[in-house]
């Protein structure tokens, strides 16, 4: 993990934000700015990377106990992170966002494109195609994530969702669906039909762009 002192000054989180704006920063950069500094034994970039792994698994809603379980995170930093996320949830809520076409969800998920492992995501939608919630279902290897229909639909069932859009990142940048991607799409479509929750699309994305099964008429 590259330490803050090893990063050229112009590429450090604070300087990059000042020059390019907050939208140009990665999640790790933004979190590093929130943290302000690391600890005696943990550089701020290393610390932010560890916290991100927990956030990815908890859909950005970790408890103080979960945060303090991270090596290097004490009560002060844990409460800072919890307060920052609660403030963001109160001021800017994706819930209720109207989805007119499946790729409209990209602004909600594209920040995951820089992950080094595949993250499988599920967006629950109500009958009006409004976002109920966006969640990380599973985290896999560099080029493969394991997911089962029961894991994908568990929360949408609780949400009483009418439809879902699933998505996952390809760390390699290659947007071509794998055989596993095609097969899980078929499985999820069948499962959704049984449950009465329609699968609207499966989106593969990276920094280079996205691949929509719906747009390719493969759904």
Distance CA 186, CA 85 (A): 35
The predicted pLDDT at position 147 comes to 87
The pLDDT of residue 94 is 62
Q: Quick one: which H or E segment has residue 159? A: helix 149-159
* Phi, psi (rounded to 5 degrees) for 138: -155, 160
pLDDT at residue 6, as a whole number: 73
pTM equals 0.70
Q: Comparing C-alpha atoms, which of 207, 214, 202, 208 is closest to residue 147?
A: 202
pLDDT at 54: 81
Q: Which helix (H) or strand (E) holds 168?
A: strand 163-169
- CATH fold of 102-212 reads Cytidine Deaminase; domain 2 (3.40.140)
Burial class (CB in 10 A: 0-12, 13-18, 19+), 123: buried
- Name residue, tokens 């090596």: 71
The pLDDT of residue 23 is 81
Q: Are 105 and 131 in contact (CB under 8 A)?
A: yes
Average pLDDT for runs of 10 along the chain of length 219: 74 88 86 85 86 75 84 89 79 72 88 89 94 90 76 95 96 92 95 97 94 94
Q: pLDDT value at position 128?
A: 92
For residue 79, what are its two tokens? 């409460």
Segment (H or E) for 134:
strand 131-139
């Amino acid at each position: 993990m590259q330490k803050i002192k090893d990063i050229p000054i112009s590429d450090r989180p604070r300087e990059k934000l000042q020059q390019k704006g907050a939208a140009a920063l990665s999640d790790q950069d933004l979190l590093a700015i929130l943290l302000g500094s690391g600890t005696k034994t943990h550089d701020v970039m290393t610390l932010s990377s560890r916290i991100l792994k927990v956030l990815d698994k908890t859909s950005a809603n970790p408890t103080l106990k979960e945060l303090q379980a991270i090596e290097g995170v004490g009560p002060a930093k844990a409460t800072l992170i919890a307060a920052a996320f609660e403030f963001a949830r109160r001021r800017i809520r994706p819930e209720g966002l109207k989805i007119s076409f499946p790729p409209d969800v990209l602004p909600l998920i594209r920040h995951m494109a820089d992950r080094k492992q595949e993250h499988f995501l599920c967006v629950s939608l109500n009958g009006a195609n409004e976002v109920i919630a966006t969640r990380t279902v599973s985290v896999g290897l560099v080029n493969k994530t394991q997911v089962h229909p029961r894991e994908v639909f568990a929360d949408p069932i609780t949400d009483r969702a009418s439809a879902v859009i699933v998505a996952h990142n390809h760390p390699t940048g290659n947007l071509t669906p794998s055989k596993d991607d095609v097969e899980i799409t078929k499985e999820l479509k069948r499962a959704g039909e049984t449950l009465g929750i329609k699968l609207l699309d499966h989106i593969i994305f990276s920094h280079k762009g996205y691949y929509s099964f719906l747009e390719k008429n493969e759904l």
